[in-house]
Amino acid sequence: MSNVTLEKITNLCKRRGFIFQSSEVYGGYNGFWDYGPNGVAMRRALEQAWWNYMVEMRDNVEGQDSTIICNPKVWEASGHVAQFADIMVDNKENNKRYRIDNLMDKQSDEVLAALATALGTDADISKMEAAFETKLKAGEDISNVLGDCAVVCPTSEKPGKWTPPRQFNLMMQTYVGPVFDEDHKAYLRAETCQPIFTNFSAIQTVMRQKLPFGIAQTGKAFRNEINPRNFIFRSREFTQMEMEFFCHDDEAMDWYTYWRDERLNFYYDVLKIDKSKLKTHDHDKLAHYAKAAMDIEFEFPFGWGELEGIHHRGTWDLSQHSEHSGQKLTYFDQDRKEHYTPTVVETSVGLDRLMLALLCSFYDEDEASTQKEGKEKDIRTVLRFPAVIAPVQVAVLPLSKKLAEQAQPLYRKLLKNFRSDYDDKGQIGRRYRRQDEIGTPLCVTFDFDSLEDNAVTVRERDSMTQERVSIDKLQSYIFEKINS
């Protein structure tokens, strides 16, 4: 039984060197997280699994890696400078700040009904959020609406003294060059996809790609989130893995369905996430240029949350960049004898959010058979990761330090083919537990008999069964086990 909570995951991540607060010696920094040795090994493996599935295994998807800071005109054209904003309010009584949708999420049905009436819409959070946005843009006075509807502060649990709702732009800013003024202002990218749009024609030409084809990128994105929360679910610096697929508008909805299915298959078949933990959710409100959009949601310990977005983006991005740059971002389709701006279908997932989903998915506690005297139950914590993402795939555990002369060369050999670890410190039982907690699928125990029979004991993480395997056949044995 898993009994997973966010607290257990956070503690395990700290205890076992996966993830901890950035700048922890200074008390941390809200919305920023560092990855330790096991976390970075897993994160790289996960990114590589995505890259392999989305780019390396396909002829019709190319890769790129753009800069984090690009010409600020990119973000003016994309609409981020003017519109990439959340609506926020503060409770003046306790200085707590909320995003309006998160605040509404915590209200009773009565308060929501009062708000809906005041805003002239249904008591549906996304519709009310849209109403706030429209009214703010139109300059309507909605400064007292939260107070009038007795909206409750989730922290003090009583009606708050609310500031007027206001738009808050999420773009992180910096300056480029020696002068810190408006003309030298630049932005850290808020998503990785915009530089894909600006590079579309260059990549299509140099790679001699015909439509339909895609361009993929992984990398850091930055958002000045109002309320970073839920561990690495919502941070201010995170990594995205995005793919933009360019096609003719007539085919776009078929590609949209195709990519939804491909992405779900990645979660089911490659990452082995249980189907009951994932669902799709169509967006109620679509951007004016889009024909469809959906989220793939995962059931986190705090509820269902967006893991990935699948978006039909129309010709919006290429048209905007073309208009602002004065460059043609169109395509001549020789088969159709037609010149057009391609329609885009996007898949976009956060690497850190996916890490959290995997940690929650595979966290488990079971009753170990090794009960100690005086203890009623001996609970084993185990991450049942598939080998493709396990930070360590095989651990070599010599029974005694005296066996290093023979066990070390074996470990060095395994390192060439598998993410491997060597641990000769402490009792063997404790060493197994440590490996279970970081999700190592196989442990290889080298004992004194190994010197005689040239064999080792291989212990499986999930079943805890042990098998004696000849050292000559060990590599192929491990290969088969972790790929089955």
d(CA 387, CA 268): 14
Residue closest to ligand ATP, measured at CB: 350
Task: Find how far residue 159's CA is from the centre of its chain.
Answer: 35
Q: Does 99 bind ligand ATP (CB under 6 A)?
A: no
Only one of the segments 141-149, 284-292, 307-315, 403-411 lies at the binding site for ligand ATP (rule: CB under 6 A); that segment is 307-315
Residue 84 contacts ligand ATP per CB under 6 A = no
Position 349 contacts ligand ATP (CB under 6 A):
yes
> Using only C-alpha atoms, what is the Rg of the chain?
26
By CB under 6 A, tell whether 218 contacts ligand ATP: no
Single-letter amino acid, residue 64: Q
Closer to ligand ATP by CB, 244 or 424: give it: 244
- Using CB under 6 A as the binding rule, whether residue 352 contacts ligand ATP is answered as yes
Is 350 among the residues that bind ligand ATP (CB under 6 A)? yes
Cα gap 63→56, rounded to integer Å: 9
Q: Which is nearer to ligand ATP, 301 or 309 (CB)?
A: 309
- Shortest distance (Å) from residue 47 CB to ligand ATP: 14
Q: Supply the minimum distance, in Å, between the C-beta of residue 69 and ligand ATP.
A: 19
Task: Give the binding range for ligand ATP (CB under 6 A) out of 60-68, 176-184, 300-308, 421-429.
Answer: 300-308
The verdict on 159 binding ligand ATP (CB under 6 A) reads no
Pairing type for strands 331-333 and 172-175 reads unpaired
**Is residue 91 a contact point for ligand ATP (CB under 6 A)?**
no
- Quick check: 307 binds ligand ATP (CB under 6 A)? yes
d(CA 136, CA 121): 15
The CB-of-351 to ligand ATP minimum distance in angstroms stands at: 8
Task: Tell whether residue 434 is a contact of ligand ATP (CB under 6 A).
Answer: no
The residue from 78, 240, 361, 420 that contacts ligand ATP (CB under 6 A) is 240
What are the distances in angstroms from CA 292 to CA 241, 309, 314?
20, 11, 9
Which residues form the interface with ligand ATP (CB under 6 A)?
191, 223, 225, 234-235, 238, 240, 306-309, 348-350, 352-353
